[in-house]
């Protein structure tokens, strides 16, 4: 899944660099990558927002 | 100093290059040169850094539009959360311990925290320096620095994608908690789906429900040990003194004990209740001699009180289910002004000596409902109750001097004791009361109404006895050759204390 995320970033970076007229698509890819990154982190913590601590 | 929008873009382009070369490039270098692979949480933090660089390049290319600034704030906020959450797994470990390697003395997940902070600070400074209002402007040429930064981002994203392919595999394979070192040899690649599995909880492994002895199965025939002898109740006694709630723990100071001269040589009973009442009763349990209700919110949090014991002299200890404790002492001249901070209610005849927390190792993430005192070792003893995370029975011993863990053990099964099947064990018991006499720990389990006898020297469960007829046992005390098992309703079952603590041998000690 991390591979997919970096490929999305690679695509977005390419658009900004070589296809600047595709601004909306580039930004949409950034948002999608952010959401995927956040989800992958939560998968890694099994949804737990806190480590082993008392609240 | 003021920045024009064009200058802002140039500065941003250089900052993007720094961000990509130093932390992101450094992480790649760690992988290529040292074989160090990121864990699943590290991957997300590295992705956050690349995304921050990407957002900065959007500004370089299209100008500081509000949505880009909004995206940067989200990235920085989530990135700092990720770094703190990740670091929180390791920060409190023992000295020098952590996960994977260090850079300048700090582990990489700590650096992720620093980097996200730095991005926030730099972004704030740059915005302070911008001349005039931020306005969406037409796309501008990014300049040489901007183009280099964009090319560098593409290269870095591609390099990370290549490392991710080797380290984590194509979707749906996902990053790992304990990744193996990076290798270009496919035979060494580990592609895993493990992270997709496992229980999901926003609270994580610390979500341990409070114990509920009343819900335990009291039938001894269903217990984890088979063919147990029975201890019959000799008679019933009762706490006739007016308590302020339902009994949750009980201890006895007996004049036959080694320090029998305490309390003027008289028997005393220490009772705690579900309304956090701590009461010292006379030996007949007919009169309340001293009473306090501690302030649970003062300093150390006291969860419901569940255990009690006399700890030598006239000092008493009370245990809360979260293994916090209070030491108390009768004091007819107690300073009312000083004790006001400790007690919600008091009759003015008790003083708090100390309040603290027992720190266990094997009994972490487990509550304790039983407290005992071993005069031979001068140690306080707690017995854990099982939790959904750890189903085991742990005896923890704390030195009376510094109240710090001295030793811990999981009792072994002695000869003659057999488990019902391989899935059952001592962790099925739910000990609610305990006391020590003659080197043995006597404990009562509310689950399966069973008396457990543990030899403290050999750390062995030497005997166990079924006690039919009990209902909600909450405490146990040794009184000479008798065991007193207190129930929540204030009734006390009097049992013979087994002689040699051996299976089948129920002769009183005096025989």
Is A24 within 8 Å of chain B by CB?
no
Q: What are phi and psi of B392, to 5 degrees?
A: -155, 165
Contact A44 B175 (CB under 8 A): yes
Q: What pLDDT does B206 receive?
A: 79
Does A26 contact B at CB distance below 8 Å?
yes
Q: How far is residue B492's CA from residue B233's CA, in Å, rounded to a whole number?
A: 10
Residues 6+ apart with CB under 8 A from B73: none
pTM: 0.85
The continuous run of DSSP H or E covering B156 comes out as helix B143-168
Question: What is the C-alpha to C-alpha distance for residues B17 and B152, in angstroms, rounded to an integer?
Answer: 7
CB atoms within 10 A of CB B133: 5
A28 touches chain B (CB under 8 A): no
How many CA atoms within 13 Å lie on the side-chain side of B362?
19
A35 Cβ under 8 Å from any chain B Cβ: no
The per-residue pLDDT for B99 is 87
How many whole angstroms separate alpha carbon B110 and alpha carbon B101? 11
Question: From residue B331, how far is each of B276, B291, B347 by CA, in Å?
Answer: 20, 11, 11
Q: Which residue has the tokens 């940067």?
A: B72
**Predicted ipTM?**
0.98
- Please give, rounded to a whole number of angstroms, the shortest distance from the CA of A13 to a CA of chain B: 6
Edge-to-edge strand list for the sheet holding B473-479: B235-238, B491-496, B482-487, B473-479
> What are the structure tokens assigned to B428, written together?
């099925």
State whether A48 and B175 contact (CB < 8 Å): no
- Which residue out of B12, B48, B51 would a mutagenesis test of the A interface target, given it has the greatest number of A Cβ atoms within 10 Å? B51
**Res B508: pLDDT:** 45
Question: Rounded CA gap, B65 and B282, in Å?
Answer: 78
- Return the pLDDT at B136: 58
State the alpha helices, DSSP H only, in B88-142: 108-129
Q: What share of chain A is helix, strand, coil (3-state, %, to 5)?
A: 75, 0, 25
Per-residue pLDDT of chain B (511 residues; tens, 9 = 90+): 788 888 889 999 999 999 999 999 999 999 999 988 999 999 999 999 999 999 999 999 998 899 999 999 999 999 999 999 999 999 888 888 888 888 888 999 999 999 999 999 999 999 999 877 766 565 567 889 999 999 999 999 999 999 999 999 999 999 999 999 999 899 999 999 999 998 888 887 778 889 999 899 999 999 999 999 999 999 999 999 999 999 999 999 977 665 666 787 789 999 999 999 999 999 999 999 999 999 998 999 999 999 999 998 899 999 999 999 999 999 999 998 999 999 999 999 999 999 999 999 999 999 999 999 999 999 999 999 999 889 999 999 999 999 999 999 999 999 999 999 999 999 999 999 999 999 999 999 999 999 999 999 999 999 999 999 999 999 999 999 999 999 999 999 999 998 654 554 544 443 3
CA neighbours within 13 Å on the CB side: how many for A37? 29
Closest residue in chain B to residue A7, using alpha carbons only: B161
Reading across the β-sheet that carries B450-455, which strands appear in turn? B412-413, B460-466, B450-455, B440-445, B431-437
Q: Look at residue B316 and give its three-state secondary structure.
A: strand
Q: Compute the half-sphere exposure of residue B495: CA atoms within 13 Å on the CB side of its CA.
A: 28
Q: What angle do CA B488, B493, B495 make, to 5 degrees?
A: 145
Query: Do the Cβ atoms of B97 and B68 come closer than 8 Å?
Result: no
* Exposed/middle/buried for residue B264 (C-beta within 10 Å: 0-12, 13-18, 19+): exposed
Q: What mean pLDDT, rounded, does chain A reach?
A: 95
- Token pair belonging to B279: 């009461």
Strand-strand pairing, B482-487 and B431-437: unpaired
Best of A25, A34, A41 to disrupt the B interface (most B CBs within 10 Å) is A41
Residues contacting residue B497 through CB under 8 Å, at least 6 positions apart:
B437, B442, B478, B480, B481, B482, B483, B508, B509
Find the CB nearest A10 among B161, B165, B167: B161
Chain A residue numbers with beta carbons less than 8 Å from the beta carbon of B62 are: 20, 23
Do β-strands B412-413 and B460-466 pair in parallel, antiparallel, or remain unpaired?
parallel
Q: Which residues of A touch B43 (CB under 8 A)?
A: 2, 40
Q: What is the pLDDT of residues A12-37, one digit of tens each?
A: 999 999 999 999 999 999 999 999 99
Task: Give SS3 for A2.
Answer: helix
Q: Contact, B490 vs B475, CB < 8 A?
A: no
Residue among B51, B79, B37, B44 nearest B168 (CA): B37
- In DSSP terms, B412 is beta-bridged to B460
Q: Which of B171, B41, B173 lies closest to A45, judged by CA? A: B41
Inter-chain residue contact A2 with B168, CB threshold 8 Å = yes
Please tell me the distance from the alpha carbon of residue B374 to that of residue B507, in angstroms, as a whole number: 23
The 3-state DSSP class for residue B177 equals coil
Give the residue carrying structure tokens 């689950």.
B447
Question: From residue B208, how far is each of B61, B356, B366, B387 by CA, in Å?
Answer: 51, 21, 8, 7
DSSP string, B243-293: -SS-EEEEEEE-TTSTTTTGGGG--EEEEEETT--EEEEETTS--EEEEEE
Separation in Å, CA of B28 to nearest CA in chain A: 13
Nearest to B256 by CA among B265, B245, B247: B265
Task: Give the contacts of A17 (CB within 8 A, at least 6 positions apart).
Answer: B57, B147, B150, B151, B153, B154
Phi, psi at B64, each rounded to 5°: -80, 70
| Predicted pLDDT at B260 | 60
CB within 8 Å: B88 and A33: no
């Amino acid at each position: 899944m991390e591979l997919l995320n970096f490929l999305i970033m690679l695509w977005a970076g390419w658009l900004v660099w070589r296809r600047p007229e595709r601004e909306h698509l580039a930004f949409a890819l950034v948002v999608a990558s952010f959401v995927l990154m956040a989800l992958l982190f939560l998968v890694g913590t099994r949804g737990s927002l806190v480590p082993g601590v008392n609240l | 100093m003021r920045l024009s929008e064009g200058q802002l873009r140039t500065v941003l382009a250089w900052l993007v290059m720094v961000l990509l070369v130093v932390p992101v490039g450094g992480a790649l270098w760690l992988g290529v040169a040292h074989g160090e692979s990121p864990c699943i949480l590290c991957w997300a933090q590295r992705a956050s850094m690349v995304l921050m660089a990407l957002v900065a390049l959007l500004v370089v290319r299209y100008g500081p539009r509000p949505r880009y600034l909004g995206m940067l704030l989200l990235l920085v906020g989530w990135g700092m959360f990720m770094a703190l959450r990740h670091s929180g797994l390791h920060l409190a470990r023992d000295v020098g311990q952590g996960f994977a390697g260090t850079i300048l003395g700090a582990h990489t997940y700590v650096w992720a925290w620093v980097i996200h902070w730095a991005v926030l600070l730099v972004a704030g400074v740059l915005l302070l320096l911008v001349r005039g209002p931020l306005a969406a402007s037409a796309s501008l040429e990014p300049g040489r620095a901007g183009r280099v930064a964009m090319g560098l981002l593409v290269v870095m994203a591609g390099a990370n994608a290549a490392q991710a392919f080797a380290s984590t595999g194509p979707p749906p394979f996902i990053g790992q908690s304990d990744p193996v070192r990076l290798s270009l040899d496919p035979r060494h690649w580990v592609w895993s789906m493990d992270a997709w599995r496992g229980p999901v909880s926003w609270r994580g492994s610390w979500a341990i429900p409070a114990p509920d002895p009343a819900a335990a199965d009291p039938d001894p025939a269903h217990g984890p040990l088979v063919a147990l002898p029975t201890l019959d109740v000799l008679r019933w006694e009762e706490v006739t003194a007016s308590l302020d709630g339902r009994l949750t723990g009980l201890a006895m100071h007996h004049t036959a004990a080694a320090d029998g001269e305490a309390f003027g040589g008289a028997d005393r009973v220490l009772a705690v209740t579900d309304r956090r009442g701590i009461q010292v009763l006379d030996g007949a349990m007919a009169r309340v001699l001293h009473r306090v209700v501690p302030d649970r919110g003062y300093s150390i949090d006291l969860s419901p009180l569940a255990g009690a014991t006399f700890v030598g002299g006239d000092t008493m200890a009370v245990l809360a289910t979260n293994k916090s404790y209070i030491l108390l002492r009768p004091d007819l001249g107690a300073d009312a002004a000083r004790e006001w901070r400790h007690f919600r209610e008091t009759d003015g005849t008790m003083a708090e000596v100390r309040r603290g927390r027992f720190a266990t190792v094997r009994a972490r993430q487990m509550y304790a409902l039983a407290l005992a005192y071993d005069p031979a070792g001068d140690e306080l003893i707690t017995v854990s109750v099982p939790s959904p995370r750890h189903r085991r029975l742990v005896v923890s011993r704390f030195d009376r001097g510094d109240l710090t863990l001295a030793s811990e053990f999981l009792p072994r099964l002695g000869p003659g004791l057999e488990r019902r099947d391989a899935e059952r064990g001592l962790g099925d018991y739910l000990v609610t009361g305990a006391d020590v006499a003659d080197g043995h720990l006597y404990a009562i389990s509310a689950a399966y109404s069973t008396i457990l006898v543990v030899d403290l020297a050999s750390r062995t469960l030497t005997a166990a006895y079924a006690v039919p007829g009990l209902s909600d046992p909450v405490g146990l005390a040794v009184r000479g050759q008798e065991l007193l098992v207190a129930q929540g309703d204030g009734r006390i079952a009097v049992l013979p204390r087994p002689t040699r603590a051996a299976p089948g041998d129920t002769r009183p000690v005096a025989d």
